[in-house]
Chain A
Protein backbone atom coordinates (compact mmCIF):
# COMPACT_ATOMS: atom_id res chain seq x y z
CA UNK A 1 0.00 0.00 0.00
CA UNK A 2 1.35 3.41 -0.82
CA UNK A 3 1.77 6.24 1.61
CA UNK A 4 -1.04 8.47 0.38
CA UNK A 5 -3.54 5.69 0.76
CA UNK A 6 -2.26 4.97 4.25
CA UNK A 7 -2.81 8.59 5.25
CA UNK A 8 -6.24 8.65 3.63
CA UNK A 9 -7.29 5.65 5.62
CA UNK A 10 -6.09 7.14 8.87
CA UNK A 11 -7.04 10.79 8.47
CA UNK A 12 -7.53 11.44 12.15
CA UNK A 13 -4.25 9.79 13.12
CA UNK A 14 -2.42 11.75 10.42
CA UNK A 15 -3.91 15.03 11.65
CA UNK A 16 -3.05 14.32 15.27
CA UNK A 17 0.49 13.24 14.38
CA UNK A 18 0.92 16.47 12.46
CA UNK A 19 -0.16 18.47 15.53
CA UNK A 20 2.40 16.58 17.61
CA UNK A 21 5.18 17.30 15.13
CA UNK A 22 4.36 21.01 15.22
CA UNK A 23 4.19 20.95 19.00
CA UNK A 24 7.52 19.17 19.37
CA UNK A 25 9.19 21.75 17.15
CA UNK A 26 7.67 24.81 18.82
CA UNK A 27 7.25 23.69 22.44
CA UNK A 28 9.13 20.44 23.09
CA UNK A 29 8.34 20.42 26.81
CA UNK A 30 4.59 20.63 26.13
CA UNK A 31 4.98 17.85 23.58
CA UNK A 32 6.59 15.55 26.13
CA UNK A 33 3.89 16.42 28.66
CA UNK A 34 1.17 15.63 26.10
CA UNK A 35 2.67 12.23 25.40
CA UNK A 36 2.89 11.58 29.14
CA UNK A 37 -0.75 12.55 29.60
CA UNK A 38 -1.77 10.33 26.72
CA UNK A 39 0.12 7.42 28.19
CA UNK A 40 -2.08 7.52 31.27
CA UNK A 41 -5.14 6.99 29.08
CA UNK A 42 -3.35 4.42 26.95
CA UNK A 43 -2.60 2.31 30.02
CA UNK A 44 -6.20 2.68 31.24
CA UNK A 45 -7.38 1.62 27.80
CA UNK A 46 -5.10 -1.42 27.77
CA UNK A 47 -6.63 -2.52 31.05
CA UNK A 48 -10.13 -2.59 29.66
CA UNK A 49 -9.56 -3.46 25.99
CA UNK A 50 -9.08 -7.20 26.49
CA UNK A 51 -12.33 -7.31 28.47
CA UNK A 52 -14.27 -5.56 25.72
CA UNK A 53 -12.63 -7.75 23.10
CA UNK A 54 -13.34 -11.07 24.83
CA UNK A 55 -16.89 -10.10 25.83
CA UNK A 56 -17.69 -9.09 22.25
CA UNK A 57 -16.39 -12.43 20.98
CA UNK A 58 -18.26 -14.52 23.52
CA UNK A 59 -21.54 -12.70 22.95
CA UNK A 60 -21.10 -13.12 19.20
CA UNK A 61 -20.47 -16.84 19.66
CA UNK A 62 -23.20 -17.74 22.12
CA UNK A 63 -26.16 -15.40 21.90
CA UNK A 64 -28.64 -17.19 19.64
CA UNK A 65 -29.65 -14.27 17.43
CA UNK A 66 -31.82 -16.45 15.21
CA UNK A 67 -33.90 -17.47 18.21
CA UNK A 68 -34.37 -13.83 19.15
CA UNK A 69 -35.19 -12.84 15.59
CA UNK A 70 -37.80 -15.56 15.27
CA UNK A 71 -39.21 -14.71 18.67
CA UNK A 72 -41.24 -11.69 17.74
CA UNK A 73 -43.69 -10.42 15.23
CA UNK A 74 -46.29 -7.69 14.94
CA UNK A 75 -48.44 -8.53 17.92
CA UNK A 76 -46.07 -9.92 20.49
CA UNK A 77 -46.39 -6.92 22.82
CA UNK A 78 -44.07 -6.58 25.78
CA UNK A 79 -42.31 -9.83 24.96
CA UNK A 80 -41.46 -8.46 21.53
CA UNK A 81 -40.12 -5.28 23.10
CA UNK A 82 -37.86 -7.27 25.40
CA UNK A 83 -36.60 -9.40 22.54
CA UNK A 84 -35.85 -6.21 20.61
CA UNK A 85 -33.82 -4.83 23.50
CA UNK A 86 -31.88 -8.07 23.75
CA UNK A 87 -31.17 -8.24 20.03
CA UNK A 88 -29.97 -4.65 19.93
CA UNK A 89 -27.84 -4.86 23.07
CA UNK A 90 -26.15 -8.11 22.16
CA UNK A 91 -25.17 -7.18 18.63
CA UNK A 92 -21.78 -5.93 17.52
CA UNK A 93 -21.02 -3.20 15.03
CA UNK A 94 -22.15 0.35 14.30
CA UNK A 95 -25.80 1.41 13.90
CA UNK A 96 -25.87 1.08 10.12
CA UNK A 97 -25.01 -2.59 10.51
CA UNK A 98 -28.47 -2.86 12.08
CA UNK A 99 -30.29 -1.47 9.02
CA UNK A 100 -30.37 -4.64 6.91
CA UNK A 101 -31.30 -6.78 9.91
CA UNK A 102 -34.16 -4.44 10.79
CA UNK A 103 -35.35 -4.25 7.20
CA UNK A 104 -35.54 -8.01 7.11
CA UNK A 105 -37.51 -8.03 10.37
CA UNK A 106 -39.93 -5.41 9.06
CA UNK A 107 -40.63 -7.61 6.06
CA UNK A 108 -41.23 -10.49 8.43
CA UNK A 109 -43.86 -8.40 10.21
CA UNK A 110 -42.03 -6.72 13.09
CA UNK A 111 -43.65 -3.50 14.33
CA UNK A 112 -42.19 0.00 13.96
CA UNK A 113 -41.96 0.20 17.76
CA UNK A 114 -39.73 -2.83 17.92
CA UNK A 115 -37.58 -1.68 15.02
CA UNK A 116 -36.90 1.62 16.79
CA UNK A 117 -36.05 -0.29 19.97
CA UNK A 118 -33.58 -2.50 18.10
CA UNK A 119 -31.93 0.42 16.31
CA UNK A 120 -31.61 2.53 19.44
CA UNK A 121 -30.46 -0.30 21.69
CA UNK A 122 -28.00 -1.37 19.00
CA UNK A 123 -26.62 2.15 18.96
CA UNK A 124 -26.45 3.01 22.63
CA UNK A 125 -26.55 -0.14 24.73
CA UNK A 126 -23.62 -2.41 24.14
CA UNK A 127 -22.86 -4.88 26.88
CA UNK A 128 -19.04 -4.81 26.45
CA UNK A 129 -19.17 -1.02 26.18
CA UNK A 130 -20.81 -0.78 29.59
CA UNK A 131 -17.56 -2.11 31.05
CA UNK A 132 -15.68 0.56 29.16
CA UNK A 133 -18.03 3.32 30.31
CA UNK A 134 -17.82 2.21 33.94
CA UNK A 135 -14.04 2.28 33.67
CA UNK A 136 -13.66 5.81 32.33
CA UNK A 137 -16.73 7.49 33.82
CA UNK A 138 -17.63 5.53 36.96
CA UNK A 139 -20.04 2.72 37.62
CA UNK A 140 -22.72 5.04 38.92
CA UNK A 141 -22.59 7.14 35.76
CA UNK A 142 -22.90 4.07 33.56
CA UNK A 143 -25.79 2.59 35.52
CA UNK A 144 -27.80 5.79 35.63
CA UNK A 145 -27.27 6.53 31.95
CA UNK A 146 -28.34 2.97 31.14
CA UNK A 147 -31.61 3.27 33.08
CA UNK A 148 -32.46 6.67 31.60
CA UNK A 149 -31.60 5.48 28.10
CA UNK A 150 -33.81 2.40 28.34
CA UNK A 151 -36.73 4.56 29.52
CA UNK A 152 -36.16 7.04 26.71
CA UNK A 153 -35.97 4.32 24.09
CA UNK A 154 -39.35 2.92 25.13
CA UNK A 155 -41.00 6.36 25.02
CA UNK A 156 -39.33 7.14 21.72
CA UNK A 157 -40.27 3.84 20.12
CA UNK A 158 -43.95 4.38 20.86
CA UNK A 159 -43.78 8.00 19.71
CA UNK A 160 -42.22 7.00 16.38
CA UNK A 161 -44.84 4.30 15.86
CA UNK A 162 -47.57 6.92 16.24
CA UNK A 163 -45.94 9.37 13.83
CA UNK A 164 -44.66 6.92 11.22
CA UNK A 165 -46.88 4.34 9.57
CA UNK A 166 -45.51 1.25 7.98
CA UNK A 167 -46.83 2.34 4.57
CA UNK A 168 -44.23 5.11 4.42
CA UNK A 169 -41.39 2.62 4.50
CA UNK A 170 -40.09 1.63 1.08
CA UNK A 171 -39.86 -2.04 0.31
CA UNK A 172 -37.85 -3.04 -2.72
CA UNK A 173 -39.21 -5.49 -5.21
CA UNK A 174 -38.08 -8.96 -4.30
CA UNK A 175 -36.36 -11.01 -6.91
CA UNK A 176 -37.31 -14.50 -6.05
CA UNK A 177 -37.00 -17.78 -7.81
CA UNK A 178 -34.29 -16.32 -9.96
CA UNK A 179 -31.18 -18.36 -10.33
CA UNK A 180 -28.36 -17.53 -7.95
CA UNK A 181 -25.33 -16.66 -10.01
CA UNK A 182 -22.89 -14.79 -7.82
CA UNK A 183 -22.40 -13.08 -4.50
CA UNK A 184 -22.52 -9.40 -3.56
CA UNK A 185 -21.29 -7.36 -0.60
CA UNK A 186 -23.06 -4.18 0.57
CA UNK A 187 -20.09 -1.94 1.04
CA UNK A 188 -21.91 0.54 3.27
CA UNK A 189 -22.80 -2.20 5.71
CA UNK A 190 -19.53 -4.12 5.77
CA UNK A 191 -17.69 -3.60 9.04
CA UNK A 192 -14.53 -5.16 7.66
CA UNK A 193 -14.29 -8.03 10.12
CA UNK A 194 -12.88 -10.28 7.42
CA UNK A 195 -14.74 -13.38 8.54
CA UNK A 196 -16.01 -14.13 5.02
CA UNK A 197 -12.53 -13.83 3.53
CA UNK A 198 -11.25 -16.33 6.04
CA UNK A 199 -14.08 -18.76 5.29
CA UNK A 200 -13.99 -18.36 1.54
CA UNK A 201 -10.99 -16.51 0.11
CA UNK A 202 -12.02 -17.55 -3.40
CA UNK A 203 -15.04 -15.26 -3.42
CA UNK A 204 -14.08 -12.30 -1.24
CA UNK A 205 -11.19 -9.89 -1.06
CA UNK A 206 -10.26 -6.97 1.18
CA UNK A 207 -10.23 -3.45 -0.20
CA UNK A 208 -9.92 -0.24 1.84
CA UNK A 209 -10.90 -1.86 5.13
CA UNK A 210 -13.99 -3.30 3.47
CA UNK A 211 -14.69 -6.58 1.80
CA UNK A 212 -15.46 -6.75 -1.89
CA UNK A 213 -16.97 -9.60 -3.79
CA UNK A 214 -14.69 -10.97 -6.46
CA UNK A 215 -17.88 -11.36 -8.53
CA UNK A 216 -16.88 -14.85 -9.43
CA UNK A 217 -19.51 -17.21 -10.74
CA UNK A 218 -20.93 -19.18 -7.85
CA UNK A 219 -20.76 -22.95 -8.30
CA UNK A 220 -23.87 -25.01 -7.46
CA UNK A 221 -21.89 -26.97 -4.88
CA UNK A 222 -20.78 -23.81 -3.14
CA UNK A 223 -24.26 -22.40 -2.48
CA UNK A 224 -24.87 -24.19 0.81
CA UNK A 225 -21.48 -23.18 2.13
CA UNK A 226 -22.20 -19.60 1.07
CA UNK A 227 -25.49 -19.62 2.97
CA UNK A 228 -23.59 -20.25 6.20
CA UNK A 229 -21.21 -17.40 5.40
CA UNK A 230 -24.15 -15.07 4.71
CA UNK A 231 -25.66 -16.01 8.04
CA UNK A 232 -22.38 -15.61 9.88
CA UNK A 233 -21.72 -12.10 8.59
CA UNK A 234 -22.23 -9.92 11.68
CA UNK A 235 -23.38 -6.95 9.58
CA UNK A 236 -25.63 -9.00 7.28
CA UNK A 237 -23.86 -7.31 4.39
CA UNK A 238 -23.60 -10.32 2.07
CA UNK A 239 -26.33 -11.45 -0.28
CA UNK A 240 -26.85 -13.61 -3.34
CA UNK A 241 -27.09 -11.90 -6.67
Chain B
Protein backbone atom coordinates (compact mmCIF):
# COMPACT_ATOMS: atom_id res chain seq x y z
CA UNK B 1 0.00 0.00 0.00
CA UNK B 2 1.35 3.41 -0.89
CA UNK B 3 1.68 6.25 1.55
CA UNK B 4 -1.45 8.11 0.43
CA UNK B 5 -3.67 5.08 0.75
CA UNK B 6 -2.34 4.50 4.26
CA UNK B 7 -3.00 8.15 5.02
CA UNK B 8 -6.61 7.88 3.81
CA UNK B 9 -7.11 4.70 5.84
CA UNK B 10 -5.89 6.39 9.01
CA UNK B 11 -8.04 9.51 8.51
CA UNK B 12 -11.10 7.42 7.67
CA UNK B 13 -10.46 5.14 10.64
CA UNK B 14 -10.34 8.08 13.03
CA UNK B 15 -13.55 9.54 11.58
CA UNK B 16 -15.27 6.18 11.87
CA UNK B 17 -14.34 5.72 15.53
CA UNK B 18 -15.51 9.25 16.38
CA UNK B 19 -18.73 8.77 14.43
CA UNK B 20 -19.58 5.49 16.15
CA UNK B 21 -18.76 6.96 19.56
CA UNK B 22 -21.03 9.92 18.92
CA UNK B 23 -24.01 8.08 17.53
CA UNK B 24 -23.84 4.41 16.72
CA UNK B 25 -27.32 4.15 15.21
CA UNK B 26 -26.91 7.10 12.92
CA UNK B 27 -23.60 5.77 11.66
CA UNK B 28 -24.98 2.30 11.02
CA UNK B 29 -28.00 3.69 9.23
CA UNK B 30 -26.01 5.75 6.76
CA UNK B 31 -23.68 2.80 6.25
CA UNK B 32 -26.68 0.74 5.22
CA UNK B 33 -27.55 3.40 2.66
CA UNK B 34 -24.02 3.49 1.30
CA UNK B 35 -24.03 -0.30 1.16
CA UNK B 36 -27.16 -0.23 -0.97
CA UNK B 37 -25.58 2.20 -3.39
CA UNK B 38 -22.39 0.14 -3.64
CA UNK B 39 -24.33 -3.05 -4.20
CA UNK B 40 -26.06 -1.45 -7.16
CA UNK B 41 -22.75 -0.57 -8.73
CA UNK B 42 -21.06 -3.89 -8.04
CA UNK B 43 -21.86 -5.45 -11.43
CA UNK B 44 -20.45 -2.43 -13.22
CA UNK B 45 -17.39 -2.28 -11.00
CA UNK B 46 -16.49 -5.91 -11.70
CA UNK B 47 -17.20 -5.45 -15.41
CA UNK B 48 -14.93 -2.41 -15.72
CA UNK B 49 -12.11 -4.06 -13.77
CA UNK B 50 -12.27 -7.09 -16.06
CA UNK B 51 -12.42 -4.78 -19.07
CA UNK B 52 -9.26 -3.04 -17.89
CA UNK B 53 -7.47 -6.41 -17.91
CA UNK B 54 -8.59 -6.97 -21.48
CA UNK B 55 -7.50 -3.51 -22.60
CA UNK B 56 -4.07 -3.76 -21.00
CA UNK B 57 -3.48 -7.22 -22.44
CA UNK B 58 -5.04 -7.00 -25.87
CA UNK B 59 -4.42 -3.47 -27.07
CA UNK B 60 -0.74 -2.96 -27.82
CA UNK B 61 0.69 0.11 -26.03
CA UNK B 62 1.92 1.50 -29.35
CA UNK B 63 -1.68 1.70 -30.56
CA UNK B 64 -2.77 3.61 -27.47
CA UNK B 65 0.23 5.90 -27.78
CA UNK B 66 -0.69 6.47 -31.42
CA UNK B 67 -4.29 7.37 -30.80
CA UNK B 68 -4.23 8.86 -27.30
CA UNK B 69 -0.63 9.94 -27.09
CA UNK B 70 1.10 13.20 -27.80
CA UNK B 71 0.31 13.35 -31.51
CA UNK B 72 -3.03 14.85 -32.64
CA UNK B 73 -3.76 15.71 -29.05
CA UNK B 74 -6.59 18.09 -29.83
CA UNK B 75 -8.68 15.60 -31.78
CA UNK B 76 -8.16 12.79 -29.29
CA UNK B 77 -9.10 15.14 -26.44
CA UNK B 78 -12.32 16.28 -28.09
CA UNK B 79 -13.23 12.67 -28.88
CA UNK B 80 -12.49 11.59 -25.30
CA UNK B 81 -14.61 14.44 -23.99
CA UNK B 82 -17.44 13.37 -26.28
CA UNK B 83 -17.19 9.75 -25.17
CA UNK B 84 -17.21 10.94 -21.55
CA UNK B 85 -20.36 12.97 -22.19
CA UNK B 86 -22.26 10.00 -23.55
CA UNK B 87 -20.99 7.28 -21.21
CA UNK B 88 -22.73 6.60 -17.94
CA UNK B 89 -20.36 4.72 -15.68
CA UNK B 90 -19.80 5.52 -12.00
CA UNK B 91 -16.87 7.90 -11.50
CA UNK B 92 -15.77 5.33 -8.97
CA UNK B 93 -14.57 2.91 -11.64
CA UNK B 94 -13.57 5.61 -14.11
CA UNK B 95 -10.38 6.31 -12.17
CA UNK B 96 -8.84 2.83 -12.50
CA UNK B 97 -9.99 2.71 -16.12
CA UNK B 98 -8.32 6.00 -16.96
CA UNK B 99 -5.32 5.05 -14.82
CA UNK B 100 -4.81 1.89 -16.88
CA UNK B 101 -4.85 3.90 -20.10
CA UNK B 102 -2.21 6.26 -18.74
CA UNK B 103 -0.14 3.29 -17.52
CA UNK B 104 0.11 2.00 -21.07
CA UNK B 105 1.08 5.33 -22.54
CA UNK B 106 -1.98 7.53 -23.08
CA UNK B 107 -1.50 11.26 -22.58
CA UNK B 108 -3.19 12.77 -19.54
CA UNK B 109 -4.92 15.47 -21.61
CA UNK B 110 -7.62 13.27 -23.18
CA UNK B 111 -7.79 11.33 -19.90
CA UNK B 112 -8.70 14.45 -17.91
CA UNK B 113 -11.21 15.55 -20.54
CA UNK B 114 -12.93 12.16 -20.29
CA UNK B 115 -13.00 12.21 -16.47
CA UNK B 116 -14.48 15.69 -16.33
CA UNK B 117 -17.19 15.32 -18.98
CA UNK B 118 -18.09 11.88 -17.64
CA UNK B 119 -19.67 13.41 -14.58
CA UNK B 120 -20.34 17.01 -15.56
CA UNK B 121 -21.90 16.62 -19.02
CA UNK B 122 -24.88 14.32 -19.27
CA UNK B 123 -26.28 13.48 -22.68
CA UNK B 124 -28.33 10.63 -21.22
CA UNK B 125 -29.69 12.77 -18.40
CA UNK B 126 -30.25 15.76 -20.69
CA UNK B 127 -34.02 15.23 -21.13
CA UNK B 128 -34.41 15.14 -17.37
CA UNK B 129 -32.38 18.31 -16.94
CA UNK B 130 -34.37 20.10 -19.62
CA UNK B 131 -37.61 19.08 -17.99
CA UNK B 132 -36.52 20.46 -14.63
CA UNK B 133 -34.62 23.59 -15.64
CA UNK B 134 -35.69 24.38 -19.19
CA UNK B 135 -33.94 23.99 -22.54
CA UNK B 136 -31.88 27.16 -22.33
CA UNK B 137 -30.37 26.25 -18.97
CA UNK B 138 -29.63 22.63 -19.90
CA UNK B 139 -27.97 23.53 -23.22
CA UNK B 140 -25.89 26.34 -21.73
CA UNK B 141 -24.71 24.35 -18.74
CA UNK B 142 -23.78 21.25 -20.70
CA UNK B 143 -22.08 23.17 -23.51
CA UNK B 144 -20.02 25.25 -21.10
CA UNK B 145 -19.12 22.15 -19.07
CA UNK B 146 -17.84 20.49 -22.21
CA UNK B 147 -15.79 23.53 -23.13
CA UNK B 148 -14.30 23.87 -19.66
CA UNK B 149 -13.52 20.14 -19.50
CA UNK B 150 -11.31 20.58 -22.58
CA UNK B 151 -9.71 23.71 -21.12
CA UNK B 152 -8.99 21.97 -17.80
CA UNK B 153 -7.50 19.04 -19.69
CA UNK B 154 -5.06 21.19 -21.65
CA UNK B 155 -4.15 23.22 -18.57
CA UNK B 156 -3.32 19.96 -16.76
CA UNK B 157 -1.25 18.85 -19.72
CA UNK B 158 0.77 22.07 -19.65
CA UNK B 159 1.33 22.08 -15.88
CA UNK B 160 2.02 18.37 -15.20
Contacts and interface: CB of A to CB of B under 8 A. Distances in A.
A and B: interacting chains: yes
Given A34-B53, A57-B31, A144-B156, A13 B144 contact: no
Contact of A148 (B52, B57, B120, B155): B155
Given A56-B34, A60-B34, A145-B112, A12 B95 contact: no
Contacts of B144: 156, 159-160
Interface stretch (A78-86, A95-103, A177-185, A217-225): A95-103
Contact of B49 (A19, A30, A45): A45
B54 A137 contact: no
Contact of A16 (B26, B47, B119, B135): B47
Contacts of B37: 56, 92-93, 191-193
Interface residues of A, number: 89
Contact of B91 (A36, A129, A209): A129
Contact of B137 (A17, A140, A152, A168): A168
A164 B134 CA distance: 10
A164 B128 contact: no
B136 to A, nearest CB: 5
A1 to B, nearest CB: 13
Contacts of A156: 141, 144-145, 148
B128 A96 contact: yes
Contact of B95 (A16, A54, A133): A133
B120 A37 contact: no
Contact of A160 (B12, B26, B140): B140
Contacts of B75: none
A61 interface: yes
Contacts of A51: 5, 8-9, 12
- Which of B37, B89, B156: most chain A CB closer than 10 A? B37
Interface of B: 1-2, 4-5, 8-9, 12, 15-16, 19, 23, 26-27, 29-38, 40, 43-54, 56-58, 89-92, 95-96, 98-100, 102, 108, 112, 115-116, 119-120, 122, 125, 128-129, 131-137, 140-141, 144-145, 148, 151-152, 155-156, 159-160
Identify the 5 closest CB pairs spanning chains A and B, nearest first: A38-B53, A136-B99, A193-B36, A61-B30, A13-B47
12 contacts: A13-B46, A15-B47, A16-B47, A47-B1, A62-B19, A95-B119, A95-B120, A135-B8, A136-B99, A137-B102, A159-B144, A195-B33
